[in-house]
């Protein structure tokens, strides 16, 4: 199994727009071969800011894929290319961590 932690930071004040595009794209991702989980997360409300806080412009996508090949196919899927094009001007940075069980 492959785990992915994608830290996506929108340009200031645009996180809601990027999340809207993510939510519209999510059903297509969940239908992909090998997709086990594809969930957007944000800082938990009520927690005080800390070194680990992402802030109001960032969200983290937690993904699980059956194989690395499935993840690689996901990256070039037409709906992902379209999502990237749609969100490119709204996004400040994207850091993708691809992990496997220890």
pLDDT band (50, 70, 90) for residue 99 = very high
pLDDT digits 0-9 by tens, 35-82: 999 999 999 998 888 989 999 999 999 999 999 999 999 999 999 999
Q: How confident is the model at residue 31 (pLDDT cuts 50, 70, 90)?
A: very high
What's the chain look like in SS3? CEEEEEEEEECCCCHHHHHHHHHHHHHHHHCCCCEEEEEEECCCCCCCCCCCCCCCCEEEEEEEECCHHHHHHHHCCHHHHHHHHHHHHHEEEEEEEEECCC
Fold of 2-99: Alpha-Beta Plaits (3.30.70)
The structure's pTM equals 0.93
Q: Where are the domains of the chain?
A: 2-99
């Amino acid at each position: 199994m492959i785990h992915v932690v994608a830290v996506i930071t929108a340009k200031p004040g645009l996180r809601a727009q990027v999340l809207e595009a993510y939510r519209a794209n999510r059903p297509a991702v969940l239908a992909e071969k090998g997709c086990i989980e594809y969930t957007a997360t944000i800082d938990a409300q009520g927690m005080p800011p800390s070194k680990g806080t992402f802030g109001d412009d960032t969200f983290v996508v937690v993904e699980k894929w059956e194989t690395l090949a499935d993840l690689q196919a996901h990256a070039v899927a037409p709906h992902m290319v379209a999502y990237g094009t749609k969100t490119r001007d709204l996004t400040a940075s994207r850091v993708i961590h691809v992990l496997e069980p220890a």
